[in-house]
């Protein structure tokens, strides 16, 4: 990808992240797939890293198992989990989000502008 494409992709990722409802999570892969780049889940992670410190609800993006892989970007190892728990998100005995209860799939909405 070139710099212009990266910026465009990052902006598209941020637009999807901005729509994740409170109390729900999505995965890097779901975002990448929704944007037509299924193999770009890692690039979604880079886009979220670039959004650190913004008001985007990046804490609502987890890995495919529901693990909090981005938690160190939130000012401490427990901040991401605390934010999700405050929104009513539940976790299993392994510390992963219960995806069956909280997964939001952006592809279930219309793709008007993305």
Catalytic residues: 58
Cα within 13 Å of Cα(73), Cβ side: 20
Six token digits for residue 21: 């409802």
As a whole number of angstroms, the distance between CA 56 and CA 73 comes to 13
3-state DSSP assignment of residue 87: coil
């Amino acid at each position: 990808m070139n710099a212009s494409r990266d910026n465009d992709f990052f902006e598209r990722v941020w637009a999807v992240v901005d729509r994740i409802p409170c109390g729900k999570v999505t995965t890097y892969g779901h975002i990448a797939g929704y944007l037509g780049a299924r193999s770009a889940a890692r690039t979604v992670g880079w886009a979220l890293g670039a959004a650190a410190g913004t008001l985007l609800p990046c804490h609502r993006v987890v890995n495919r198992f529901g693990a909090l892989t981005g938690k160190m970007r939130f000012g401490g190892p427990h901040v991401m989990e605390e934010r999700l728990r405050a929104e009513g998100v539940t976790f299993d005995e392994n510390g992963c989000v219960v995806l069956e209860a909280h997964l939001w799939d952006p592809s279930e909405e219309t793709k008007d502008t993305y």
